[in-house]
Amino acid sequence: MGRTRAASAPGLKDVAAHAGVSVATVSRVINGGPYVTERVRALVAASMDALGYEPHALARSLRTGETRSVGYVVSDIANALFSTIARGIDDALQPQSYTMVLANSRSDPAHELDVIRHLLRRRVDGLVLSLADETSPALRDFLAGLRTPLVLLDREVEGVLADQVLVDHAAGVAAAVAHLRDLGHTRVGLITGEASTRPGREIRRAFEDAHAAAGAPIPGGFVRVGALSEAFGAQAAAALLQMPEPPTALIAGGAQITVGVLRVLRRQGVRVPEELSLVAYDDTDATELFSPSVSVIARDIYAIGQTAAALLLDRLGSGGAQRVARIPTALILRGSIAAWGGSPGPLLT
């Protein structure tokens, strides 16, 4: 007896009845509204937890027009890069009581549009996008016409107005090439992702620029471009090693690619760095624990997510012009690099 609708969760109405006030008053108490007596506030608060009241976020959102949620679209959440970014986003969102809604696109550009639409139907207040492919015209047009605030992570989509977080791949790659050349390497290979996504373009461009600046040619077939996968990394590394005149140093431009490369080097018993110097992408357990430890181009991945969320929250709050945040890269030297030709320098472990 007493409560009539025992089945469903208590609402504002139930709390109001229990406290002997109106729903408006309860609402004011919940939202910290003005003009509420301390006496009434306490009364209502008591009723709320007597009934175990939990505000109905959907109803509130329908009324206010904001969901306090942001969508994160990602090609594969199981990828350490993206899950670390997700952590960064979520950590930055929680203090403002925003929620992250995750949508996995499975690296499929068509599906990508679907999941974005799905998020929009749920009326997320903003979107953070780690796009699988920034060249799809359908996606580009769709995003260009979008009102919802957007943050692009290391992606450039023509005609789309969005905040961006860009990783400075060029600096890391330039440093790596310069270091290897200083050590006497004139035959440096590169394995990286396709041009359909910014990192692939940037890494390749920086690699070529660094050689051009040094007035050094890149031997034919030394740049391998393909999927950001272990399989491609392995295949490309094997192909490179099989060349009549293989590279004496290699840059693996992508974390998954790196794993494939390491697997091949290990399987073929290639001695690193004696036979091949190696610079890989991203400071991970795998690169650190490989023997020898692998020199890497590293960046603060967590910060990418944090920064993205910060940009988005900022825009949701105050609006303003589109902004671009830049994440630096650093070359971390470890045992996988040695001089070529001349006398070897001191070996790191």
Q: Which amino acid, 84?
A: T
Nearest-approach distance from CB 60 to DNA, in angstroms: 4
- Verify binding: residue 121, its own copies, rule CB under 8 A: yes
Residue 186 or 229 with smaller CB distance to its own copies: 229
Please choose, out of 81-89, 181-189, 197-205, 315-323, the segment that lies near its own copies by the rule CB under 8 A.
81-89
Number of residues that bind its own copies (CB under 8 A): 49
Nearest-approach distance from CB 266 to its own copies, in angstroms: 7
- Verify binding: residue 107, its own copies, rule CB under 8 A: no
User: Could you say which of its own copies, DNA, none residue 97 binds, taking C-beta under 5 to 8 angstroms by partner kind?
Assistant: its own copies
User: Could you say which of its own copies, DNA, none residue 23 binds, taking C-beta under 5 to 8 angstroms by partner kind?
Assistant: DNA
Q: Are 97 and 60 in contact (CB under 8 A)?
A: no
Nearest-approach distance from CB 23 to DNA, in angstroms: 5
- Verify binding: residue 78, its own copies, rule CB under 8 A: yes
In angstroms, the Cα distances linking 24 to 20, 21, 55, 128 are 12, 8, 14, 36
Number of residues that bind DNA (CB under 7 A): 29
User: Could you say which of its own copies, DNA, none residue 284 binds, taking C-beta under 5 to 8 angstroms by partner kind?
Assistant: its own copies
Backbone dihedral angles phi then psi of residue 189, each to the nearest 5 degrees: -100, 160
* Residue closest to 223 by CA, chosen among 330, 255, 209, 333: 209
Q: Which amino acid, 292?
A: P
- Taking CB under 7 A as the criterion, the residue among 45, 51, 55, 142 binding DNA is 55
- Verify binding: residue 39, DNA, rule CB under 7 A: yes
Q: What is the DSSP letter of 160?
A: -
CA angle 75, 79, 80 (to 5 degrees): 135
- Verify binding: residue 263, its own copies, rule CB under 8 A: yes
Nearest-approach distance from CB 163 to its own copies, in angstroms: 22
CA angle 186, 188, 192 (to 5 degrees): 160
Nearest-approach distance from CB 3 to DNA, in angstroms: 13
DSSP 3-state of 145: coil
**Separation CA 340–CA 337 (nearest Å):** 9
Query: Beta 295-299 vs 329-332: how paired, if at all?
Result: antiparallel
Residue 28 or 224 with smaller CB distance to DNA: 28
- Taking CB under 8 A as the criterion, the residue among 54, 141, 158, 274 binding its own copies is 54
User: Could you say which of DNA, its own copies, none residue 118 binds, taking C-beta under 5 to 8 angstroms by partner kind?
Assistant: its own copies
HSE of 261 in the Cβ direction (CA atoms, 13 Å)? 32
DSSP 3-state of 189: strand
**Separation CA 17–CA 141 (nearest Å):** 51
CA angle 329, 112, 60 (to 5 degrees): 95
User: How many residues belong to the chain?
Assistant: 349
Q: Which residues bind its own copies (CB under 8 A)?
A: 54-59, 61-62, 67, 69, 76-80, 82-84, 86-87, 90-91, 94, 97, 99-104, 106, 117-118, 120-123, 259, 262-263, 266, 284-286, 288-291, 302
Q: Which residues bind DNA (CB under 7 A)?
A: 8-9, 11-13, 20-25, 27-28, 30-31, 34-37, 39-40, 53, 55-56, 59-60, 62-64
